[in-house]
Structure 1
Amino acid sequence: MYFHVRMDVAIPPELDPRQRDELVAREKKYSQELQRAGKWPHIWRIVGEYANFSVFDVESTDELHTLLSGLPLFPHMKIHVTPLATHPSDIAAH
């Protein structure tokens, strides 16, 4: 199942800079593990924002929720999920 996910990040400005750096490093490691595993095949930065558009390829909504809530930055994110379906005009789908 494919899902389009928008993630907007808002790290509290009062967070200690060392804690922030450690948190961002853990986020990068976790997200790259998911990418290597094929669960997170696409990620794009949204220009001018601390946000991204991503596509996840997972077995269920429960799996997606588990992966997203496992993100170290999850407590500092606003996330919007859109389920995706094959488009009948997609030449790659036939």
Structure 2
Amino acid sequence: MLFHVKMTVNLPHDLPADQATDILAREKAYSQALQAEGKWRHIWRVAGHYANISIFDVADNEELHVLLSGLPLFKFMDIEVMPLLRHPSAVRDDDR
């Protein structure tokens, strides 16, 4: 199943720099591993915001929930999820 996911990060201003650096490094490694596995299909930065729009390709809602809640930044995020279905007027049978 494909999901459109918007993640907005709200790091606390008083978070110590060393903790922020550690969380961000773990977040990058985790997200890149999911990208390499093909579960995190696409990621785009939202211009002017500490946010991204991503496409996930996972088995179901539960798998998506497990992956998202495993993000090191999860507790600092506002997340919006939208399930996607192929549109009947699409000219391609895949998501190129």
Q: TM-score by structure 1 length?
A: 0.98
Looking at structure 2, the residues matched to 11 and 76 of structure 1 have their Cα atoms a distance apart, in angstroms, of: 6
Counterpart Cα distance in 2 of 1:45 and 1:89:
28
Question: Which residue in the other structure is 1:34 paired with?
Answer: 34
Q: 1:4 and 2:8 equivalent? A: no
Amino acid in structure 2 at the alignment position of 1:2:
L
State the one-letter code of the partner of 2:49: E
Q: Alpha carbon RMSD of aligned pairs, Å?
A: 0.9
- Matches of 2:73 and 2:49, distance apart in 1: 15
One-letter code of the match for 1:58?
Answer: V
Task: State the shift of 1:68 in Å.
Answer: 0.1
Aligned to 1:78: 78
C-alpha offsets along residues 54-82 of structure 1, whole Å, 9 cap, x if unaligned?
Answer: 00000010000000000000000000000
Runs of 4+ in 1 over 3 A off after TM superposition: none
Deviation of the 1:89 alpha carbon:
1.1
Measured after TM superposition, the shift of residue 93 of structure 1 is: 1.7
AA in 2 matched with 1:85:
L
**TM-score with structure 2 length normalisation?**
0.96
The correspondence of residues 1-94 of structure 1 with structure 2, limited to 5 A, is: 1-93=1-93
The aligned length equals 94
State the distance in 1 between where 2:27 and 2:89 align.
36
Q: Distance in 2 between matches of 1:58 and 1:41?
A: 10
Q: Secondary structure at the match of 1:92?
A: coil
The unaligned stretches of length 5 or more in structure 1 are none
